[in-house]
Structure 1
Amino acid sequence: MRNENHPATPSAGAGIDRRTLLAGSFALGAALFLGGTEGAQAAQLDALTGGTVDLPAFLALSQRLTGHDDLDEDHGAALLEALRGAGHGGALANLHTAVRAAGAAPEAVAAAAAGEAVAARALLRGWYVGLVAMPGGQERLVGYDTALMAAVTADFIPLRSFCGGAPHFWAAPPELDDLPL
């Protein structure tokens, strides 16, 4: 006997029901556990997660795009997490594939990066400035003293992490004897 308060079929706007979700999850788990080669499993997982780039691949990509070989691994891990959180996971995978296939010429790397320009700019901004633009207009700080802005100017401008001097020290004119002119 059918209860009118609980219809047997879900309404059109109800979305996915519990049985379909469980059956799909079980089928996906079985396919990933039992099915195919590692490449097929990785492709299935990439399709579900929007593409993946692990930390070593991300650091290699970052080295190619920034031109710096001594990138901070902790900064890279935080940046990769933030970029994924900002929705750039699939674009990073595409960017990694394109840059890896581009060869060594800087022009070829730049042309390859142009296909995923938004993700490439977000990656470079994260390395040089230490900020990632998140959904909703928020900014996420992934690094300050490890950002490349400090490395580029380290030979003549020290990166300040605090305000020096007594209160209102900036109001007095500077002493010219100390300036490196």
Structure 2
Amino acid sequence: MGLFRRTPEQRAAKEERRRQKEEAAADKQRRWEADQAARRLHQERLVKAAGVSSANLVCHRDTWAFLESECHFVGQFQLPPPGEGSLIKVPLSGPNLVRALTNMKALRDTPGRYVGDRAVATRVYNAVAEIVDGVDPSAKSGTPVPDVVLDDKIGTVEAVREDDARD
């Protein structure tokens, strides 16, 4: 009978292993629930985006070239000729927005891809998602959708102190 008795240390170690196992299972459940919530949100965005008749994307030509390539938009859009500024405005339909969201999410979530491409994809996805999240499907027809603008600024020249500008 004495062979199966555990010391207090053994009981404490067993209890600690049980507790760690429960914590690991709870963490796994939380990750699964967060993943499911993210999937639902992405699907809701796609449905909203599909209903948009047109939204303008304002971005640098290089950003557009990246999107053209990654979303297979090549040759579908008439762009202003080079030399008319670095920013361009491209009208995207709902299906184009869906394709942009889908492809940018897939690219940003692919670990083997070049980290720079993943960064651009993340930035584009977030900018498009922000506008799509603000779309109200029940809004009156003809209500304009705000432009998706990819043109972050550091600040104005006036915002730089004279002391900083000399350094």
TM-score calculated relative to the size of structure 2: 0.25
Tell me the TM-score normalized by structure 1.
0.24
In terms of fraction of residues, the more strand-rich structure is 2
